[in-house]
Amino acid sequence: AQTVTQSQPEMSVQEAETVTLSCTYDTSESDYYLFWYKQPPSRQMILVIRQEAYKQQNATENRFSVNFQKAAKSFSLKISDSQLGDAAMYFCAYRGTSGSRLTFGEGTQLTVNP
Amino acid sequence: GAVVSQHPSWVICKSGTSVKIECRSLDFQATTMFWYRQFPKQSLMLMATSNEGSKATYEQGVEKDKFLINHASLTLSTLTVTSAHPEDSSFYICSARPPGGSKDTEAFFGQGTRLTVV
For A45-83, write each residue's pLDDT tens digit.
999 999 999 888 999 999 999 999 999 999 999 999 999
∠ CA B23-B82-B75, nearest 5°, is 15
Distance, in Å, from the CA atom of B89 to the CA atom of B13, rounded to the nearest integer, reads 10
Q: Which of B42, B94, B109 to mutate to test the interface with A (most CBs of A within 10 A)?
A: B109
pLDDT of residue B104: 59
The model's confidence at residue A1, banded by pLDDT at 50, 70 and 90, is confident
Using the Cβ of A75 and the Cβ atoms of chain B, whether some distance falls under 8 Å is answered with no
Q: Cβ B95–A99 below 8 Å, yes or no? A: no
Average pLDDT for A33-39:
96
CA distance A90 to chain B (A): 10
Quick one: average pLDDT of B100-113? 80
pLDDT at A49: 96
Mean pLDDT of B59-82: 94
How is residue B56 annotated by DSSP?
-
Give residue B72's pLDDT band: very low, low, confident or very high (50, 70, 90).
confident
Average pLDDT over residues B6-21: 97
Query: For A4, which residue in chain B has the nearest alpha carbon?
Result: B43
In chain A, which residues have their Cβ closer than 8 Å to the Cβ of B41? Answer: 89, 107, 109
Is the pLDDT confidence value at B89 over 90? yes
Alpha carbon of residue B5 to chain centroid = 11
Chain A positions touching B97 (Cβ under 8 A) are 100
CA torsion, points B11, B81, B116, B91, in degrees to nearest 10? -90
* B106 within 8 A of A38, measured Cβ to Cβ: no
Whether the pLDDT of residue B102 is over 70: the answer is no
Rg (CA), chain A: 14
* Listed range (A47-51, B52-56, B66-70) with the worst mean pLDDT: B52-56
**Mean of all residue pLDDT scores within chain A:** 94
Q: Which site among A43, A46, A66, A90 would you substitute to test the B interface, given the most B Cβ atoms closer than 10 Å to its Cβ? A: A43
What is the rounded distance in angstroms from the CA atom of residue B81 to the CA atom of residue B67? 5
Q: How far apart are CA A67 and CA A62, in angstroms?
A: 14
- Close Cβ partners of B13 (under 8 Å, ≥ 6 residues apart): B19, B84, B115, B116, B117, B118
Inter-residue contact A93 to A75 (CB < 8 Å):
no
Closest CB to B44: pick one of A42, A47, A104. A104
All residues of chain B having their beta carbon less than 8 Å from the beta carbon of residue A91 are 43-44
- Report chain B residues whose CB lies below 8 A from the CB of A3: none
* Partner residue facing B93 (CB), from A33, A45, A89: A45
Q: Give one word for B88, left, alpha or beta, with left for phi > 0 and alpha for psi -120 to 50.
A: alpha
pLDDT score for B103: 59
A43 shares contact with chain B (CB less than 8 Å)? yes
Q: For residue B101, what pLDDT is reported? A: 59
What percent of chain B stands above pLDDT 70?
A: 95
Q: Answer whether residue A100 shows pLDDT above 90.
A: no
Average pLDDT over residues A75-97: 96
Tell me: pLDDT of B19 over 70.
Answer: yes
Which of A44, A50, A109 minimises the CB distance to B109? A44
* pLDDT at residue B100 tops 70: no
